[in-house]
Amino acid sequence: MRYYPIYLDIRDKPCVVIGGGDVAERKVLSLLNAGAKVTLVSPEVTDILKGISRDGRIEIKERPYKEGDLKGAFMAYAATDNEDINYKISEEALKGGVLLNVVDKPEMCDFIVPSVVERGLLSIAISTGGTSPAFAKRLRLEMEEIYGEEYALFLEIMAAIRRKLLTKEAESVKNRKFFNKLASSSIPEMIKAGRWKDVDRTIISLLGEDFSISSLEIKKA
């Protein structure tokens, strides 16, 4: 295994993106979606990035990169098309212990970004170890067909059940059995088919009337 798979909590952590084009824009949006505090450094930026800056969601330094721009950062992206600048960014990141991704240069990266399928709380990451992003994209598209929005609702239900159970008692062996049975059930397929009465019956048969869909306050699609 070339890379160690991990999900990072970057909420409120300082992250820096060097570059202001379309690729940098995608990196900024993904960082914001994960709750990071983002600073962008580039003499030119896209209109969308300017709009995000006006909204106060990111800080933009409209100038070229200079040493020191990564100071205090937890993570950074080098999204420029200048190899010399990317190398200097890499040197600073190494000295400062900053996790760095240099776009399209896996040999210069501390981490690579997988292709991701997202369905609410469900997140499926797909990686080819940086060897074929195109194949990772193909797999992502196939997975998106398999795992539809019904899985987002399914996990909302599971989360609501867990919250309700834990207000009654600490998680027990019995509770784990309930979750195992729910996880192996056909509830996602029932949701996809709109068979909410069957969903209700399945959950109630395991946990009782207190755990009906209406009592869990789940918004049906």
Domain range enclosing 35: 14-113
How confident is the prediction for the chain on average, in pLDDT? 93
- Work out the average pLDDT over 80-109: 95
Q: What is the pTM of this model?
A: 0.84
% pLDDT > 70, the chain: 96
Q: Which residues contact 188 (CB under 8 A, 6 or more apart)?
A: 150, 151, 154
- Kind of pairing between the strands at 14-18 and 37-41: parallel
Left if phi > 0, otherwise alpha if psi is -120 to 50, otherwise beta: which for 215? Answer: alpha
Residue 2 lies in a domain: no
Are residues 155 and 139 both part of a single domain? no
- Work out the average pLDDT over 170-185: 82
Residue 173 is predicted with a pLDDT of: 66
Q: Which residues contact 58 (CB under 8 A, 6 or more apart)?
A: 28, 32, 38, 39, 40, 49, 52
Residue 8 lies in a domain: no
Residue 136 lies in a domain: yes
Residue 7 lies in a domain: no
- Residue 145, φ and ψ in degrees, nearest 5: -70, -35
pLDDT higher for 174 or 102? 102
* Per-residue pLDDT tens digits for 47-67: 999 999 999 999 999 999 999
- Kind of pairing between the strands at 115-119 and 122-126: antiparallel
Q: Please calculate the CA angle 59-61-65 and round it to the nearest 5 degrees.
A: 130
- Work out the average pLDDT over 101-125: 94
Would you say residue 180 has pLDDT above 80? yes
Residue 6 lies in a domain: no
The whole-angstrom separation of Cα 183 and Cα 38 is 37
The whole-angstrom separation of Cα 90 and Cα 93 is 5
Cα separations in angstroms, 146 against 32, 48, 135, 150, 165: 27, 32, 17, 10, 30
CATH assignment of the domain containing 92: 3.40.50.720
* Per-residue pLDDT tens digits for 36-47: 999 999 999 999
Residue 84 lies in a domain: yes
Would you say residue 190 has pLDDT above 90? yes
Are residues 107 and 34 both part of a single domain? yes
Are residues 76 and 56 both part of a single domain? yes
Residue 165 lies in a domain: yes
> What is the distance, to the nearest Å, from the Cα of residue 26 to the centroid of all Cα atoms in its chain?
13
Would you say residue 207 has pLDDT above 70? yes
Residue owning tokens 């959950």: 203
